[in-house]
């Protein structure tokens, strides 16, 4: 990925996303190849590589004997940052942790503990931040506040790597996306190009009868009474479909047209779509 990029790493469970992150973080040794963070090899130059990296893991891992502020000060100490309270206060403010600064980690809710994990990853101001399912199981308020803060970090030059099962998050934030399948990259492209490479439209119809006229273009992928979902290749086919409905005297009660989204691309590339 390029410096300063917001990069998405997507794939089904077991595709290898977390394993790849663990390789980058130096927690797993690769069988072959090499990985580097900002030019620092994660094996040979591991001290510099880890200084360049901040990882927010999926699991809620915490030390139950410290308060939130003590936890962040301890994390700062791992990187030789003895006077870091100004940045710690700013991180806690943006993650809505200020009121819990002196609370013991054991007393926090799951969502609050996840906020602390995010703060720990950011406490040494790493140029590369890896977010492994950062919004899993958190409330909407935290999700919005987290993305606002992460976007600001990205604007300030931090590179962001995101794994998420919320595909709308990846579509909204990521400039490029890699789709993993069985440990290999199934697709790697700019988000817009990836979406644009899958031409087609979803036409969703609610008609005044439980049958489509003969000869309507496209492929019917779903039919439920008078409700239909038709996959069309082009907008010209959409025009032809509407003409055919009108010629057959079929009334349209409701109609929606959807261009391809990241979820459809994901399902088709991983062999799970229709």
Q: Which of 1-10, 143-152, 256-265 has the highest mean pLDDT?
A: 1-10
Give yes or no for residue 226 having a pLDDT over 90.
Answer: yes
What pLDDT is stored for residue 2 in this prediction? 82
Rounded mean pLDDT, 207-229: 92
User: What are the tens digits of pLDDT across the range 20-31?
Assistant: 899 998 888 888
- CATH topology assigned to domain 6-195: Rossmann fold (3.40.50)
What pLDDT is stored for residue 272 in this prediction? 58
CA distances, 203 to each of 33, 147, 222, 228, 264 (Å): 45, 32, 10, 8, 14
User: What are the tens digits of pLDDT across the range 123-137?
Assistant: 999 999 999 888 776
What pLDDT is stored for residue 199 in this prediction? 61
3-state secondary structure at position 68: helix
What pLDDT is stored for residue 224 in this prediction? 94
| Whole-model pTM over 0.75 | no
Backbone angles phi, psi at 215, to 5 degrees: 90, 5
Question: In the chain, which residues fall in CATH 3.40.50.300?
Answer: 6-195
> Of 58, 175, 164, which Cα lies nearest the Cα of 118?
58
What pLDDT is stored for residue 212 in this prediction? 93
What pLDDT is stored for residue 207 in this prediction? 95
What pLDDT is stored for residue 260 in this prediction? 67
Is the CB of residue 241 less than 8 Å from the CB of residue 232?
yes
Backbone angles phi, psi at 199, to 5 degrees: -70, 160
223 pLDDT band, cuts 50/70/90, is very high
């Amino acid at each position: 990925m390029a410096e300063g990029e917001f990069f998405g790493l997507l794939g089904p469970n077991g595709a290898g996303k977390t394993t790849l992150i663990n390789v980058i973080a130096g927690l797993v040794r690769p069988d072959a190849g090499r990985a580097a963070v900002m030019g620092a090899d994660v094996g040979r130059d591991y001290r510099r590589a880890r200084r360049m990296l901040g990882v927010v893991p999926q699991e809620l891992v915490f030390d139950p004997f410290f308060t939130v502020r003590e936890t962040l000060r301890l994390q700062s100490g791992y990187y030789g940052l003895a006077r870091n309270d100004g940045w710690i206060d700013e991180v806690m403010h943006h993650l809505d942790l200020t009121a819990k600064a002196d609370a013991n980690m054991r007393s926090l809710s799951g969502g609050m503990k996840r906020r602390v994990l995010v703060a720990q990853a950011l406490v040494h101001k790493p140029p590369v931040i890896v977010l492994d399912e950062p919004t899993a199981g958190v409330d909407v308020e935290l999700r919005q506040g987290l993305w606002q803060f992460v976007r600001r970090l990205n604007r300030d030059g931090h590179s962001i790597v995101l794994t998420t099962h919320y595909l709308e998050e990846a579509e909204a934030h990521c400039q490029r996306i890699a789709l993993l399948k069985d440990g290999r990259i199934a697709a790697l492209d700019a988000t817009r190009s990836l979406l644009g490479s899958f031409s087609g439209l979803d036409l969703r119809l609610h008609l005044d009868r439980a049958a489509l006229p003969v000869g309507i273009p496209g492929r019917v992928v779903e039919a439920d009474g008078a409700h239909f979902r038709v996959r069309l290749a082009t907008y010209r086919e959409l025009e032809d479909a509407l003409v055919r409905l009108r010629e057959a005297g079929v009334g349209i009660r409701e109609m929606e047209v959807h261009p391809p989204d990241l979820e459809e691309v994901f399902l088709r590339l991983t062999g799970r779509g229709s």
